[in-house]
Amino acid sequence: MSMILFQIHESWSILTVLNSTISVDTFFMLSGLLVAYNVLKVLDKQKGRLNIPMFYVHRYLRYVHRSVGRASRESLSFIS
């Protein structure tokens, strides 16, 4: 049994699965830092006032715009 576990750890493909929690945690930390930076920038620009509903609308529109753009590019590349 221990030999099988040792052979699993030697495989490069399993290392991506074993290290996925570190990758996900790093992604969330970096995205949280970027959101905090943008919020602080808006607070500085608007003298300490933050419109929370508008903040979420802005984030949603940025996400939808990228998704729609990506889908249209993929459909156009499929036609060509």
Residues of the chain scoring pLDDT < 50: 80
pLDDT at position 26 is: 93
Q: What is the pTM of this model?
A: 0.57
Q: How far from 58 is each of 21, 41, 52, 68, 79, CA to CA, in Å?
A: 29, 15, 10, 15, 32
Here the tokens at position 58 are 């802005």
pLDDT of residue 46: 87
* Nearest-angstrom CA–CA distance, 55 and 62: 11
Residues 29, 36: contact at Cβ < 8 Å? no
pLDDT attached to residue 75: 59
Tokens of 74: 């993929």
| Contact criterion met (CB below 8 Å) for 42 and 50 | yes
Question: What pLDDT does residue 8 have?
Answer: 62
